[in-house]
């Protein structure tokens, strides 16, 4: 069984279910731990960086990503699979007029496979409540000041849907390769709390 000591009601239910399945011989706790460890080892912000860099250099991929991210991800060897339930990834694109930011107001739903483990601030009640009601203030706390004319859209993730921000490509980067562009992307940029 997992050594996670999360005291949330969901975590308690998961621990109970694990214990029942172990007792019935339907679950090998060590096998489950190995599978989870392998999955989290592959989960990295570098995956999200690759997605963005490809979208910046390949307009066809960008269009497919925005239309159906789950279908586009396998083109670069990634997927939203590996979790306990299927998750739909929605990619939202920052433009000159619209800036997107991601939150999960209920808990901390987040595309771990593409962004790695979520930052502590993402799970905090302060971020989760304030970014919805005062997104401009929250972004300013992260050092991101947007023009008043920029619309800010806040996307609320949940158990079935995850979000990833496609940041605007930095100016004067036309000469850079996809690999070089990958190094410019940040996890906060993919959440929307930073520009790239």
- The question of whether 2 is a catalytic residue gets the answer no
Q: How far is CA 88 from the centre of its chain?
A: 11
Element of type H or E holding 185 = none
* Catalytic (active site) residue 109: yes
- Would you tell me how many other CB atoms lie within 10 Å of the CB of residue 145? 11
Active-site entry in 108, 129, 133, 161? 108
What six digits make up the tokens of 115? 């962004």
Longest dimension (CA), the chain: 61
Gap between the Cα atoms of 43 and 27, Å rounded? 24
Q: Is-catalytic flag, 118?
A: no
Catalytic residue among 2, 8, 44, 109: 109
3-state secondary structure of 106: coil
107 is catalytic: yes
Q: Which of 107, 118, 124, 129 is catalytic?
A: 107
Q: Shortest CA distance to 122 belongs to which of 107, 143, 132, 141? A: 107
Cα–Cα dist 164/38, whole Å: 23
- Choose the catalytic residue: 104, 118, 129, 133: 104
Positions annotated as catalytic residues are: 104, 107-109
């Amino acid at each position: 069984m997992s050594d996670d000591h999360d005291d949330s009601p969901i975590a308690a239910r998961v621990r109970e279910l694990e214990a029942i399945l172990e007792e019935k011989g339907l679950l090998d706790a060590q096998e489950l731990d190995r599978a989870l460890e392998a999955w989290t080892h592959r989960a990295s912000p570098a995956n999200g960086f690759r997605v963005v860099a490809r979208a910046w250099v390949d307009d066809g991929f960008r269009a497919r990503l925005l239309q159906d991210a789950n279908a586009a991800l396998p083109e670069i060897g990634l997927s939203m699979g590996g979790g306990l339930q299927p998750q739909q990834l929605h990619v939202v694109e920052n433009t000159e007029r619209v800036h997107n930011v991601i939150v999960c107001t209920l808990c901390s739903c987040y595309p771990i496979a593409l962004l790695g483990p979520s930052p502590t601030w993402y799970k905090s009640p302060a971020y989760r409540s304030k970014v919805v009601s005062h997104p401009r203030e929250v972004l300013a706390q992260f050092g991101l000041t947007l023009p008043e004319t920029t619309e800010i859209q806040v996307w609320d993730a949940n158990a079935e849907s995850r979000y990833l921000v496609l940041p605007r490509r930095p100016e004067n980067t036309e000469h850079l390769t996809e690999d070089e562009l990958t190094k410019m992307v940040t996890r906060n940029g993919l959440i929307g709390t930073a520009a790239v």
